[in-house]
A = this chain, B = another copy of it.
């Protein structure tokens, strides 16, 4: 064996040993509160990637979309048409908030979404709930932040995962979450005059 190949082998053996040792300490399981925030792409789509994983593993799941809803998104038709029993799909919002221009209607829609969300999270059948764009509803105070946090901390069944997406996640939500990812925008095709495209953005 060449020297460089042998060095690589030894380096990888050391990494594997350290990793195996580290993984031994990671034995717990719990239902996670997951937050995807930040201005970059991938907050909703990685939530839907987890929904795909749950369906694959036979874990019943639910999606509540808080703000989107005016556009026929791929994720909505995909899950509604093809997996109506594996994934319950609810839409509470009527487009982004600047589309409706009606605060009272937006608040009513958000509160209706939150009522559905609580039912789904409390349902013992359901293992994973995606609250898509709920951070927008929280940011505009359409929902009471403390009620949402209190529910997630004190009433969410222990093994149920809940994923909350949207920009500008409230610091108090990040504080009580188990897994938080900030999607950072490094480069966006809007700057080059490219519109939102089918398959990529919706």
Contact = CB atoms under 8 A, between A and B. Distances in A.
Interface of A: 4-5, 8-9, 12-13, 15-16, 19, 23, 25-30, 32, 34-36, 38, 40-50, 52-57, 59, 61, 73-75, 77-78, 97-104, 127-128, 161, 174, 177-190, 192-200, 202
A194 B32 contact: yes
Contacts of A104: 5
Contact of A197 (B32, B100, B103, B187): B32
A104 B5 CA distance: 8
A59 B198 CA distance: 9
Nearest to A83: B82
Contact of A49 (B13, B32, B52, B177): B52
Contacts of A25: 193
Given A73-B53, A78-B53, A59 B184 contact: no
A12 B150 CA distance: 30
Contacts of A184: 38, 181-184
Given A32-B200, A41-B46, A47-B49, 5 more contacts: A9-B101, A42-B181, A45-B53, A59-B199, A181-B185
Given A49-B44, A53-B74, A161-B199, A181 B189 contact: no
A54 B201 CA distance: 10
Given A8-B103, A177-B187, A199-B57, A194 B98 contact: no
A26 to B, nearest CB: 4
Q: Which 9 residue pairs of A and B lie closest in terms of their CB atoms, listed nearest first?
A: A45-B49, A53-B74, A56-B74, A42-B46, A56-B78, A46-B46, A180-B186, A48-B49, A40-B181
